[in-house]
Amino acid sequence: MIDTAQEYPVVTLRPREERRLRYGHTWVFSNEIASIAPQADPGAQVVVRASHGMPLGTGIYNPHSLIAVRVTSRGTEPLDREWFATRLRRALRLRETLYPGQRTYRLLHSEADGVPGVIVDRFEGVFTVQIAALGMEMRREMLYDALMEIEGVAGIVERNDHALRALEGLPSRVGIVRGTADPQIVTDGLLRYNVDPLGGQKTGFYLDQRENRLAMRRYMRDARVLDLFSNNGGFALHARHAGARDVIAVDSSAAAIAEIHTNSSLNNLSGIETRTADVFAELAALRSQHERFDVAIADPPPFARSKKNVAAARKKYVELFSGTLSVLAPGGTVFWATCSHHITRETFMEMIRESLARARRDGVILEERGAAPDHPVHPSMPETAYLHGAILSVE
């Protein structure tokens, strides 16, 4: 229960808009608000009340965002350094349980870890941070101070160059904010990778597919494998390490392809054929050459970066997924994934059905997959379950 004596500006909701928050959701949208106290400055900590006066929690306020309030607590804890330290300790305990003895994982997964709008990935001694909430941006120094207290940390890098910051009116910014941030050699438990915290995709490396790479190993032994949108080679490297006889990795980025060769050397692996090419053009070429693969992976970047792009993105996903089927041998296995926040599980399943129908192939889903468990899902916030994947056997 909130202590009403606490002097925070009050945000009052419209009638019947409190139900979602009462069941655990942590976002208040601007069109759900009836009134805002005049002293509620951008980034301020505010109390959220239902229309009948019941307190629902405290959060951070941004009058310039569709997400006007991000709830930080059902109580009134001040957003100070200890608040950040407490949540980091809780998140760290979970990751040490998930990956004992390892120091590469997602440490904070925004709302699911109780720190809205903040993502922190750990790569051995370096933390990379993304902030997508004005209230957290204003308190980032306390976050950095709390992170530097964690054992083994050498430095912190901001990777605040993503599109979500523009929605909060925040500038793009990348650089070292604490200590040093040299390239790190990290492990997923089986293989090693070179990670540049200041370069690479997202926060430096795709940690969310960690468990999916391991899951695909069982299908790869003695197989001919095609890894599309291979990035720095996670699936391709695991394929070769698991005993695949042939592996082709395709990506349009020459830098990503170079990383595959670096990571192959790190793991004493050879035999991965790399192709720097547009994936759709390469699929067409492989199809015209009547190439066939036992296993195909299609893990593209997000095609839908907003709700208005979903229809066009869906067509592109179906084109990609059905294209992989055109080069898949009968009885083969595919892994398809989408990391587009605006593609729901239901839409993903529709895309699977449409892709099979378009390719005139029959298939069954062996496993539904999501992000690794260090990317937890808030049960009241489907938005935190952004990655949808499936392993299929196809005739």
The per-residue pLDDT of the chain, averaged, comes to: 94
Give the pLDDT band of residue 210 (cuts 50, 70, 90). Answer: very high
| Positions of E strands within 126-223 | 126-131, 155-160, 173-179, 184-187, 192-195
**Contact (CB, 8 A) for 4 and 53:** no
Amino acid in position 64: H
Q: Which domains does the chain have, with CATH numbers?
A: 10-73 (2.30.130.10), 81-184 (3.30.750.80), 208-394 (3.40.50.150)
121 pLDDT exceeds 60? yes
pLDDT digits (tens, 9 = 90+) for 239-266: 999 999 999 999 999 999 999 999 999 9
Give the pLDDT band of residue 357 (cuts 50, 70, 90). Answer: very high
How much is the pLDDT for 309?
Answer: 83
Distance of CA 129 to the CA centre of its chain: 13
d(CA 279, CA 275): 9
d(CA 336, CA 274): 20
Output DSSP code: residue 53: S
Helices 279-288 and 310-325 cross at an angle (nearest 10°) of 30
How much is the pLDDT for 202?
Answer: 60
With vertex at residue 200, the alpha carbon angle to CA 197 and CA 206, rounded to the nearest 5 degrees, is 90
Which of 351, 365, 358, 353 shows the shortest CA–CA distance to 394?
365
pLDDT digits (tens, 9 = 90+) for 132-173: 999 999 999 999 999 999 999 999 999 998 877 888 889 999
How much is the pLDDT for 99?
Answer: 96
pLDDT digits (tens, 9 = 90+) for 1-18: 344 445 899 999 999 999
pLDDT digits (tens, 9 = 90+) for 64-111: 999 999 999 999 899 999 999 999 999 999 999 999 999 999 999 999
Distance of CA 246 to the CA centre of its chain: 29
d(CA 61, CA 40): 7
pLDDT digits (tens, 9 = 90+) for 178-198: 999 999 999 999 999 999 998
Amino acid in position 309: N
Q: Give buried/exposed letters for 42-65 (b at 16+ CB in 10 A, else e).
A: ebbbbbbbbeeeebbbbbbbbbeb
**Contact (CB, 8 A) for 166 and 159:** no
pLDDT digits (tens, 9 = 90+) for 284-304: 999 999 999 999 999 999 887
363 pLDDT exceeds 80? yes
Exposed/middle/buried for residue 310 (C-beta within 10 Å: 0-12, 13-18, 19+)? middle
The backbone torsions φ and ψ at residue 178, rounded to the nearest 5 degrees and listed phi first, read: -150, 140
23 pLDDT exceeds 70? yes
How much is the pLDDT for 2?
Answer: 40
Q: What is the mean pLDDT of residues 323-348?
A: 95
Give the pLDDT band of residue 203 (cuts 50, 70, 90). Answer: low
d(CA 155, CA 363): 47
Give the pLDDT band of residue 340 (cuts 50, 70, 90). Answer: confident
Three-state DSSP class for 388?
A: strand
**Contact (CB, 8 A) for 263 and 237:** yes
How much is the pLDDT for 394?
Answer: 98
Q: What is the C-alpha end-to-end distance of the chain, expressed in Å?
A: 57
Which of 149, 39, 48 shows the shortest CA–CA distance to 92?
149
How much is the pLDDT for 1?
Answer: 34
How much is the pLDDT for 214?
Answer: 97
Percent of the chain at pLDDT above 90?
88
Three-state DSSP class for 130?
A: strand
Q: Which residues are catalytic?
A: 339
Length of the chain: 395
Tokens of 373: 């468990």
Task: Please give the model's pTM, rounded to 2 decimal places.
Answer: 0.93
d(CA 27, CA 48): 11
Amino acid in position 72: T
d(CA 105, CA 150): 14
CA distances from 115 to 22, 93, 362 (A): 18, 15, 43
